[in-house]
Structures are given as C-alpha cells and as structure tokens.
C-alpha cells in the first residue's frame, strides 16, 4: 500500500514517487526537491573569492564572487566598517549565486580593503580584496639606466681644489643607510656589493661603528656611513658627532664612542677643516614602514642634526626606504611608485614628522632579497642619487668661492 499526502507549498518525496500539492504523483522531480531542501539547510561558503584589484582613477570596476547557495543575506564592508552606499557611486547585486559590488568613477577615497559577508541561519562566511587606486603619475623617472650612469661617470665637480663630493647618511638603526651604499656601489661596479654591513632587522643593532668612507666607482663622490640613531642618549651615534662630521672635524675611520662625542681635546679631531673635509650634502634615511612607529626622541635627534646642517648651509634630502613593504602596487611594479596613494601618504608623513619638503624626499628600494641586477630598481636609486649630486655640487660651487675670498683677504 502506498502513502499519499497533500502539500500546499511544495512537493515531497514518499517512497519512490512524489506527491504534488494537488495530490498528483510525479516520478522525475524528486531529485530537484531534494536539492531544494538541502539548499535550505546549506552552510554558506564561497566558491570563488574576491580578487585584488588595481584600478586607474576615473575607471569603473566590479568586485564579484560566487557562493554555494542563493539563500544568503549579503553585507559589504570597507576598512572594517559597513559600506555606506552612495547612489550613482555604488551598486550591490545578488544574482543567483553571484554576489557583486560595482563602484563607478574610481577615486583616491575608494582605495582600501573590501570585505563581503554572506550569512543565513546555518552560518556565515567572508572574503576580502584589496583595491588599490592608481593615481596619475605625479613625478617622472627615467627608466633607462645607461644614460644616467653615463652622465654620472662623466660628471665634473664645479669647485676649485675639491676632489670629491661628500655625502653623510644618517637615520635610525635598520633604516637602510648601509644598504643604500651597497645598492649604489652595485650599480657602478656592475656586481652585487655587500662589503658595507647592514644593521640587523631582528636585533636592531648597528654594524657601523666607524666614520667609514665609501667611494663609488669612477664617480667623484664619497659616502660616509655612521652608527644609527637611537632614543637612548647612551646608545647609537651622538648628534654632536654627526654635527662635528658635517663641519669636517671627524677624520676617516674614526671609531665613535657611545660614552662621549668627539671634541677638541681628542687627538683625532680636525681643528681647521677645509671644504674637502666638510660634508656637502646631508641625507636622512627613514624606512617607510617604520615612520609611524619611530620614537619622538629619534625624530628630535634628526631635527637637531638638520637644524645644524641648515646653519651651515648644507643641502638636505631624505631617502625613504623599504617602499615595497608599504605598497603592494610598488612591490609588484616599482615603475608605478609615483602613481601610488600609499607612497605619497608616507612621503607626506615623513615631511610632517621630520620637516623635509616633499620635493626633497625620494622613495627608493635597496637590494635585499635580489641577487641579480634590476634595472628598474637601479633607475629609481639613480634618480635620487643624481639629485643629491647636483645639490652637493651647488654647495661646493658656492662655498669654494667663499673659501677663495677668505684666502685672498688673509694674504
């Protein structure tokens, strides 16, 4: 004997047959009804997730993903907050198992992390995507290495009796001062240069203990590396030592002493430095991924050193390192560095905290994981290097005339 029942809303399977709301038996739709019941009690999951997007300003774009069931409520969030949809700007849609968010006329404010959550009575699931807005290029770089290298190799100093342009790098421990020297020397020596030891990112200890001099191939420039700045007054390099170095009082290979800065009583102290002994350009080095966390005492030391350089008329620039650690777009393609909202924000943060104008801040990337030459990385560094060479040369040109006048007067 077979069992029959009546249903108003939907069919139900009994034995090998199916009964309709009118009590009629159907044999071939039992499987579809089984799926319907299963879908009603299916925990929501994503079949495909949201992809990260790189979008140009003014472009329309869609974030889309697939779910395993239609029976879900959908919530969109941006940067951890519920997305406030604006008419004409945002459009959310759920078509079957497809969930999407359309954003029109992309602008800087649309950049961020977007999360979509699907939920029903059995549970929920979420997935996220990073949307990066590609700005109009606001600073240009020559992405061909050979012309810049050739120009620098043929560079001549405009200044009598000045043999080389002298640059002093300073900044917190682990900022990448020594790595900058390694990167520039690698470019001109055409092989990976690693003789300038770098600070440990783990221990935070500086390898640089001396006032060390590094020449760059046949280019008439010299870099000086010093210990990193630390917040403790008895740790790291003294600001007085760096200021003495700016003035030309510190000799090559002088070993810094944490207990006391160099002074006139020190037998190595250069009492009457010439323009050849002085620093011609001060380069502050700050990591992009650490600027927000830098201790105010270290920031103040940088400001004190810059103030002393300003009194001496020494030009100052800032190299912002580790740019690939703060911007996914730059990490993937370094030629887009001046189209990155994040890089520009970090440059502005450096400017606000340290006081260096934006046009004197140069984002750079050092060789770290790479063991083969990278022309784009080299070009970014060469662009910054060329700027400081011109700044130092202008300083030497101006001060060599002053020095010559003093010599005439003393005669």
Q: Look at residue 23 and tell me whether its pLDDT is greater than 50.
A: no
* Whole-number Å distance between alpha carbons of 279 and 250: 10
Strand partners, 64: 100
- Dump pLDDT digits (tens) for 216-227: 988 999 999 998
* Whole-number Å distance between alpha carbons of 213 and 317: 19
% of the chain beyond a pLDDT of 70: 84
Average pLDDT over residues 166-183: 94
Average pLDDT over residues 83-96: 96
Q: Look at residue 269 and tell me whether its pLDDT is greater than 70.
A: yes
* Whole-number Å distance between alpha carbons of 345 and 337: 12
Which of the four pLDDT bands, split at 50, 70 and 90, describes residue 211? very high
Look up residue 373 and give its two tokens: 């030459």
- Dump pLDDT digits (tens) for 141-174: 999 999 999 999 999 998 778 999 999 999 999 9
Question: What is the b/e burial string over 110-145, where b = at least 16 CB atoms within 10 angstroms of the residue's CB?
Answer: bbbebbbbbebeeeebebebebbbbbeeeeebeeeb
Average pLDDT over residues 265-276: 95
Q: Look at residue 350 and tell me whether its pLDDT is greater than 90.
A: yes
- Please report where in the chains the tokens 């790189």 appear, as a residue: 54
The pLDDT, as a whole number, for residue 136 is 92
Q: Look at residue 197 and tell me whether its pLDDT is greater than 70.
A: no
Q: Look at residue 17 and tell me whether its pLDDT is greater than 90.
A: no
Cβ contacts of 91 within 8 Å, gap of 6 or more: 85, 101, 102, 104
- Cβ 256 vs Cβ 238: under 8 Å: yes
- Cβ 314 vs Cβ 263: under 8 Å: no
The pLDDT, as a whole number, for residue 371 is 81
* Whole-number Å distance between alpha carbons of 381 and 113: 30
- Which of 54-58, 141-145, 170-174, 197-201 has the lowest average pLDDT? 197-201
Write out the chain in H/E/C secondary structure. Answer: CCCCCCCCCCCEEECCEEECCCCCEECCCHHHHHHHHHHHCCCCCEEECCCCEEEECCCCEEEEEEECCCCCEEEEEECCEECCCCCCCEEEEEECCEEEEEECCCCHHHCEEEEEEEEECCEEEEEEEEEEEECCCCCCCCCCHHHHHHHHHCCCCCCCCCCCEEEEEECECCCCHHHHHHHHHHHHHCCCCCCCCCCCCCCCCCCCCECEEEEECCEEEEEEECCCECCCCCCECCHHHHHHHHHCCCCCCCECCCCCCCCCCCCCCCCCCCCCCCCCEEEEEEECCCHHHCCHHHHHHHHHHHHHHHHHCCCEEEEEECHHHCCHHHHHCHHHHHHEHHHHHHHHHHHHHHCCCHHHEEECCCCCCCCCCCHHHHHHHHHHHHHHHHHHHHHHHHHHHHHHHHHHHHC
Average pLDDT over residues 114-125: 96
User: 315: closest CA among 395, 243, 385, 239?
Assistant: 395
Q: Look at residue 280 and tell me whether its pLDDT is greater than 60.
A: yes
The pLDDT, as a whole number, for residue 201 is 47
CA dihedral for 353, 357, 358, 363, sign (positive or negative):
negative
- Please report where in the chains the tokens 């770098």 appear, as a residue: 198
Instruction: Please give the mean pLDDT across all residues of the chain.
Output: 87
């Amino acid at each position: 004997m077979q069992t029959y029942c009546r249903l108003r809303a939907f069919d139900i399977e009994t034995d090998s047959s199916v009964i309709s709301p009118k009590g009629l038996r159907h044999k071939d739709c039992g499987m579809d009804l089984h799926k319907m019941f299963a879908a009603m009690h299916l925990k929501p999951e994503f079949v495909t997730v949201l992809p990260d997007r790189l979008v140009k300003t003014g472009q329309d774009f869609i974030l889309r993903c697939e779910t395993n069931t239609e029976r879900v409520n959908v919530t969109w969030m941006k940067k951890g907050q519920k997305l406030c949809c604006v008419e004409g700007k945002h459009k959310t849609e759920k078509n079957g198992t497809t969930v999407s968010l359309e954003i029109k006329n992309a602008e800087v404010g649309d950049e961020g992390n977007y999360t979509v959550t699907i939920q029903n009575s059995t549970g929920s699931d979420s997935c996220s995507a990073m949307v990066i807005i590609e700005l109009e290029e606001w600073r240009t770089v020559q992405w061909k290495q050979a012309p810049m290298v050739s120009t620098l190799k043929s560079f001549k100093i405009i200044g009598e009796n000045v043999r080389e342009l002298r640059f002093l790098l300073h900044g917190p421990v682990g900022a990448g001062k020594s790595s900058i020297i390694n990167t520039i020397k690698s470019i001109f020596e055409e092989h990976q240069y690693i003789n300038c030891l770098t600070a440990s990112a783990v221990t935070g200890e500086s390898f640089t203990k001396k006032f060390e001099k590094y020449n760059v191939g046949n280019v008439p420039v010299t870099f000086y590396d010093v210990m990193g700045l630390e917040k403790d007054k008895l740790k790291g390099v003294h600001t007085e030592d760096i200021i003495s170095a700016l003035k030309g009082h510190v000799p090559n290979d002088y070993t810094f002493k944490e207990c006391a800065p160099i002074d006139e009583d020190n037998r190595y102290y250069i009492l009457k430095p010439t323009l050849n002994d002085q620093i011609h350009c001060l380069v502050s080095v700050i990591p992009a991924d650490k600027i927000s966390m830098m201790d105010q005492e270290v920031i103040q030391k940088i400001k004190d050193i810059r103030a002393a350089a300003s009194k001496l008329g020494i030009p100052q620039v800032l190299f912002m390192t580790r740019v690939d650690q703060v911007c996914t777009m730059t990490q993937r393609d370094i030629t887009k560095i001046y189209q990155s909202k994040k890089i520009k924000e970090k440059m502005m943060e450096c400017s606000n905290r340290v006081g260096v104008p934006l046009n004197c801040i140069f984002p750079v990337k050092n060789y770290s994981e790479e063991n083969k030459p990278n022309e784009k990385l080299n070009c970014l560094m060469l662009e910054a290097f060329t700027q400081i060479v011109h700044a130092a040369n202008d300083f030497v040109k101006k001060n060599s005339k002053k020095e010559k006048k003093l010599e005439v007067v003393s005669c």
